[in-house]
Amino acid sequence: MVHKEFITDGALAIKDNKITFVGKRSAADKIDAETKLNAKGKIAIPGLINCHTHVPMTLFRGIAEDQELDSWLKEVIWPLEGKLRSDNIRAGALLGCLEMIKSGTTCFADMYFHEDTVAKAVEESGLRAVLAEGIVGINEKTLGEKMFKASADFAKAFHGCANGRVTTLLGPHSAYTCSSQLLVRVREKANEIGSGVHMHLAESDKMFRKFQKERGVSEVEFLDRISFLTGHTLAAHCIHLSEKDRHLLAERNVNVAYVPVANMKLGVGGARIKELTDLGVNVGLGTDGPASNNTLDMFETMKIAALQQKYIYSDPKVLPAKEVLEMATIQGAKALKLENSVGSLEVGKKADVVLIDVSKPHLKPLHNIYANIVYSARGSDVDVVIVDGKIIMANRCVKTLDEKIVMEEAEKTALDLLQGKS
């Protein structure tokens, strides 16, 4: 990706946590490496970046299916979330990290509760993450205040932890679940500590209309009026937008996390990406939580992103394979303000690298590398995962986590939660 194209017979060298060489294998002969990894028959890509998820929700995979967003949240998810303790969060987060490693994701943006526990899971797993403690507070001032403080405290305390692999954002849930006073304070705090925000924006038509009716403006306009968009913003979904909204997102340099699978699954629609990118909006890709997806597989999300866009515009030329891969790598890095350190295979960048094993029937023949990665490969084709220069998976065997124990703990936790034992 450094040359914006693939290099055949290529080689890549890493020293400590950084890439020190990318180029032809013939030119790498003189490099004296301690560990050598033969990548013959494999393709190296930058580690995939998942720009929007709620990783502890991996516990809830399949728990409430084929339901409306509203009842899904209110009747199933929120009551269960009310019961979650830190040890449950740990079990869910570790399972999510394990799934991400095994499907080639090296960095993810999470927003949830007990993010300190998520940070520890990230540290243990070897992954990179941008974490935000969620804030909700529309009517209950005390709750909002408490969550705001927790989010700010978390952002300050955990930024740079796990050897710099964890960075932080503030996590105001959305414009409709936070009061304007709270949102103003969030942005002020973010600016004060040099941070940004991760939030949901314009997720469903119903909410869009309700908000517009109650406040007289759209979510985006409302946020702009209270000067909320004056700093780094990662906004997930962005489905229901007016023309004016789109221009505002572009002018304010808002980063959009496009979440095709969960959006389709919940029947809430699909973001019109072309209008956004034509205006210069940076768009990354996200899976959302596994309770509404139901995987954390960014390969699947890449393919479905391309399919949904081609469907929306009735045009197969929209969002070609290469652009999708860029969304899942360098553009994702940009959305998380990590574009100077990850998102591409360049000398000087941190070594977050994924090797895809293409010696499989569904990846033959290899006429078009981008197409085979985006349209034919699956998460399970990832063979090696390197994060921050460390090999955390080789031969599909994860080195940082005990897969069996992580799965067992998560299963037990999920069962206990459902049976009210937790």
Binding to a second copy (CB under 8 A) within 320-349 occurs at 320-321
Q: Rank residues 95 and 199 by Cβ distance to a second copy and give the closer one.
A: 95
Residue 303's SS3 state is: helix
Q: Rank residues 58 and 282 by Cβ distance to a second copy and give the closer one.
A: 58
Q: Where are the beta strands (DSSP E) in 294-352?
A: none
Q: Rank residues 310 and 390 by Cβ distance to a second copy and give the closer one.
A: 310
User: Least distance from C-beta 228 to a second copy, angstroms?
Assistant: 29
User: Least distance from C-beta 65 to a second copy, angstroms?
Assistant: 5
Helix axes 403-418, 86-102, angle to 10 degrees: 130
d(CA 403, CA 392): 12
- Binding segment for a second copy (CB under 8 A), chosen from 154-162, 190-198, 219-227, 303-311, is 303-311
| Residue 311 found at the interface with a second copy (CB under 8 A) | yes
- The interface with a second copy within residues 253-292 (CB under 8 A) comprises 261, 263-270, 290
d(CA 257, CA 271): 10
- Interacting residue with a second copy among 82, 216, 348, 365 (CB under 8 A): 365
Instruction: Give 281's DSSP letter.
Output: -
- The interface with a second copy within residues 45-84 (CB under 8 A) comprises 59-63, 65-69, 72
Q: Burial, 233: exposed, middle or buried (Cβ in 10 Å; 0-12, 13-18, 19+)? A: buried
Q: Rank residues 59 and 147 by Cβ distance to a second copy and give the closer one.
A: 59
Q: Burial, 307: exposed, middle or buried (Cβ in 10 Å; 0-12, 13-18, 19+)? A: middle
d(CA 261, CA 301): 6
- Interacting residue with a second copy among 93, 95, 127, 327 (CB under 8 A): 95
- Binding segment for a second copy (CB under 8 A), chosen from 14-22, 118-126, 183-191, 304-312, is 304-312
- The interface with a second copy within residues 168-207 (CB under 8 A) comprises 205
User: Least distance from C-beta 105 to a second copy, angstroms?
Assistant: 12
| Residue 20 found at the interface with a second copy (CB under 8 A) | no
User: Least distance from C-beta 357 to a second copy, angstroms?
Assistant: 11
**Distances, alpha carbon 106 to alpha carbons 296, 298, 333, 350, in Å:** 12, 10, 11, 11
Are the beta carbons of 156 and 170 closer than 8 angstroms?
A: no
Residue 366's SS3 state is: coil
Q: Rank residues 99 and 352 by Cβ distance to a second copy and give the closer one.
A: 99
Are the beta carbons of 120 and 90 closer than 8 angstroms?
A: yes
| Residue 395 found at the interface with a second copy (CB under 8 A) | no
User: Least distance from C-beta 120 to a second copy, angstroms?
Assistant: 18
Are the beta carbons of 369 and 124 closer than 8 angstroms?
A: no
